[in-house]
Amino acid sequence: APAAALDRIKQRLEGLAPDIKLDPQRVAQEAAMAAMRADVAEELERLTAHAGELRALITKPEPAGRRLDFLSQELTREANTLCSKSADLELTRIGLDLKTVVDQIKEQAANVE
């Protein structure tokens, strides 16, 4: 991902200002920062943890409506972050699908309360 970000930054800068000599170190720093901003590993980790908690909640015999509502808020937050960070159309589509499923969970949680 950092190499791809570096190439994108170089191409954009060369397209915007072809006559300006670029400092390779500065471009590499910017590419590294862009790659860090686009990294979704933390969001995926939290989504995995939330999915595990969701599984545990729905298999318990006691009512869990409020907890499901809170968990759906967390899932929505992660899905939004995933979509906003993603430069990949497929990842954005997955994030949007996740938001749809989370809305369905919210509806079910409201019925459980």
Question: HEC states along 45-91?
Answer: HHHHHHHHHHHHHHHCCCCCHHHHHHHHHHHHHHHHHHHHHCCCHHH
Instruction: Say yes or no to pLDDT of 113 above 70.
Output: no
Question: What was the pLDDT predicted at 75?
Answer: 95
Question: What was the pLDDT predicted at 74?
Answer: 95
Instruction: Say yes or no to pLDDT of 72 above 80.
Output: yes
**What mean pLDDT comes out for the span 39-46?**
88
On whether the pTM is more than 0.75, the answer is no
Whose CA is closest to 5, among 25, 43, 32? Answer: 32
Most confident of 4-18, 21-35, 62-76: 62-76
Q: What tens digit of pLDDT does each residue of 45-62 get?
A: 999 999 999 999 989 888
Average pLDDT over the chain reads 85
Question: What was the pLDDT predicted at 51?
Answer: 94
Q: In the structure, what pLDDT confidence band is assigned to residue 96 with cuts at 50, 70 and 90?
A: very high
